[in-house]
Amino acid sequence: PDGLTRSSNDWLYSRAGLLAAHASLKPAGVLAVWSASPDSAFSRLLRQTGFVVKETTVRARGSKGGRRHTIWLAIK
């Protein structure tokens, strides 16, 4: 994932941004991140910054099909 609409949002998906998100969550808090495509490096980075990661894919158009998008649930 990256700062799709603003490059300044790229920070949110960096090590520093994920550490800040982790620090701001209460125990068992959840950060959800969407991406149009899978990203194994991002999954690793979530784990490296202290999250338990659940990764799932969903159809872009639900029951009508479409590309698969990736959603990460990152649990503190």
Judge whether 69 lies within some domain: yes
- The number of distinct structural domains making up the chain is 1
Residue 62 is predicted with a pLDDT of: 74
Ramachandran category for residue 25: left, alpha or beta (phi over 0 → left; psi -120 to 50 → alpha): beta
Judge whether 63 lies within some domain: yes
Judge whether 1 lies within some domain: no
Cβ atoms 35, 48 nearer than 8 A: no
Residue 4 is predicted with a pLDDT of: 61
Judge whether 2 lies within some domain: no
Mean pLDDT score of the chain, rounded to an integer?
91
Domain extent for 58? 7-75
Residue 8 is predicted with a pLDDT of: 78
* Among 48, 32, 31, residue whose Cα is nearest residue 40: 48
pTM score of the predicted model? 0.86
For the chain, residues with pLDDT lower than 70 are: 1-6
